[in-house]
Amino acid sequence: MLLAPSILSADFSQLKNEVDKIREADLIHVDVMDGHFVPNISFGAAVMKSLCGKTNLPFDVHLMIENPDKYLEDFVTDQTQYICVHQETCPHLDRTLKHIKEQGVKAAVALNPSTPLTMIEEVLSQVDMVLIMSVNPGFGGQKFIESSVEKVRKLDDIRREKGYDFLIEVDGGVNLDNAPLLIDAGTDILVAGSAVFKANNIEETVKAFKKHTR
């Protein structure tokens, strides 16, 4: 089980210090928002790249942007492990996933809470990870949508039935209380923004998550 704290909830004025505190996590979740696909603007590739070499954790890039094909190469670095695009932004999803893989990066696809799993059925054999959004994307600190647990369970069933090997990531409103439920349903990667970076003690919170995930 892997923990991916989202730097969206970190103190941007001291990003390097903030990532130092999550050393015991597994990935850094990078939330990129364009103010079009989602009603908020976060940061772009330059901010992510400023962390290259400043942390050992790989980047888990979550592109909440329209026309991701146009920008995804900007996010390819030695530290980039996953690039995730939203199904809702990709009319030619098969091509976009291939484009990501051509960069030597793992390809992932995200689904909004209202998008059914059937929308990605045809590409499940070629993705390295599926991100199930458990809030409507756009902001950190929102309330977890409970029906996401069932969606994860369904996806885990499909994975088992078909023998696929993608990982399942859950993003939005994840905290120490709902983590066990999500893990039980089949989640491999937990994204946590405010639960980690707004905690009184960030290091201890990361440890507490990792205990849950064992």
CA distance 195 to 198: 6
If the CB atoms of residues 14 and 125 are measured against ligand DX5, the closer one turns out to be: 14
Q: Is 62 in the site for ligand DX5 (CB under 6 A)?
A: yes
Phi-psi region of 172 (alpha: psi -120 to 50; beta: other; left: phi over 0): left
Phi-psi region of 55 (alpha: psi -120 to 50; beta: other; left: phi over 0): beta
Q: Is 53 in the site for ligand DX5 (CB under 6 A)?
A: no
Q: Are 108 and 84 in contact (CB under 8 A)?
A: yes
Among residues 31, 34, 60, 128, the one annotated as catalytic is 31
Q: Which of 19, 174, 189, 202 binds ligand DX5 (CB under 6 A)?
A: 174
From residue 53 to residue 72, the character string flagging contacts with Zn ion as x (rule: CB under 5 A) and all else as - is: ---------x----------
H or E element: which one contains 208?
Answer: helix 202-212
Residue 31 annotated in active site? yes
Both tokens assigned to 21: 């505190």
Q: How many helices (H) and strands (E) does the chain have?
A: 7, 8
Q: Is 31 in the site for Zn ion (CB under 5 A)?
A: yes
Catalytic residue numbers read 31, 171
Q: Summarize as ranges the residues that interact with ligand DX5 (CB under 6 A).
A: 6, 8-9, 29, 31, 62, 135, 137-138, 140-142, 171-174, 191-195
Binding-site ranges for Zn ion (CB under 5 A): 31, 62, 171
